[in-house]
Amino acid sequence: MDLDGKTILLTGASGGIGSVTAAELLAQGAHVIAHYASRREDAEAACSHAPPDRWTTIQADLSQPGGARALWRDAHQWAERIDTVVVNAATMPETHLDGDDEQWDEGWERTLRVNVLEPASLVREAVRHFVANGGGTLIGLSSWAAERGSAIPQLSAYAASKAAVRNLLQTIARNYARDGVLAYVVAPGIVRTPLSEISATYRGGIDAVNAMLAMGAMVEPIEVARLIAFLAAGTVPNLTGGTIDVNGASHIR
């Protein structure tokens, strides 16, 4: 996983998977542009063990139209050439079927904006950059919920958004492979992050969640981070278009 000389734009670098991924990419030699929405300190902490000339943090609000284009513009100012974009940032508001209309509409609109519409704009900018520069790599974080639906009914918007991310990257992979653009989908199961620990309350608590998993434990964020680093290295280009499941055999397809 030699990432020396590669510049990687990572969205959501202050979160559970994102912060660990930022640290891993830097450990493997990459230059990292770490995006955050509001938690700058967490993004900086994730990168702080690497020399400061190899990383930067950029704030962008992906809940607002145009947020991704602003992020790309600022990232491109820091690095003329970007080799890989990791679409990781996401939100998970509840959308109850039996809730009020305002909550439903706001939840779906926010989910689609943060998880689909702005990532799609970022992917568009990246693909045009990659085609003009001889290629590049896209890695998108989907979810096992995109494959089987969410077991939590109030997370229907989240599950649908993750299916959209998968299909977007599959379409890019299929149509831009000859331009040197690689696109991979990573579909984790339940990753041990603060957000997952909170959502575990809907399933009876962390012990109950672990009991239903084939390996008896949630996925550790470092495993997802290592997979992202491996894909960013570009050593298996014919894996482009593929979806890699990371769920400890709890969902086999």
Q: What is the pLDDT of residues 169-190, one digit of tens each?
A: 999 999 999 999 999 999 999 9
Q: What is the pLDDT of residues 127-168, one digit of tens each?
A: 999 999 999 999 999 999 999 999 889 999 999 999 999 999
Q: Is 84's pLDDT higher than 90? A: yes
Q: What is the pLDDT of residues 94-124, one digit of tens each?
A: 999 999 999 999 999 999 999 999 999 999 9
Q: Which of 98-102, 157-161, 201-205, 233-237 has the lowest mean pLDDT?
A: 201-205
Read off the pLDDT band of 195 (50, 70, 90): confident
Q: What is the pLDDT of residues 212-221, one digit of tens each?
A: 889 999 899 9
The string of DSSP codes covering the chain is ---TT-EEEES-TTSHHHHHHHHHHHHTT-EEEEEESS-HHHHHHHHTTS-GGGEEEEE--TTSTTHHHHHHHHHHHH-S---EEEE---------TTS-HHHHHHHHHHHHIIIIIHHHHHHHHHHHHHHHTT-EEEEEE--THHHH--SSGGGHHHHHHHHHHHHHHHHHHHHHGGGTEEEEEEEESSB-SHHHHHHGGGGT-HHHHHHHSTTSSPBPHHHHHHHHHHHHHTS-GGGTT-EEEESTTSS--
pLDDT of residue 210: 86
Q: Is 2's pLDDT higher than 90? A: no
Q: What is the value of pTM for the model shown?
A: 0.95
Q: Is 22's pLDDT higher than 80? A: yes
Q: Is 125's pLDDT higher than 90? A: yes
pLDDT of residue 248: 95
Mean pLDDT, the chain, whole residue set: 95
Between 195 and 167, the more confident residue is 167
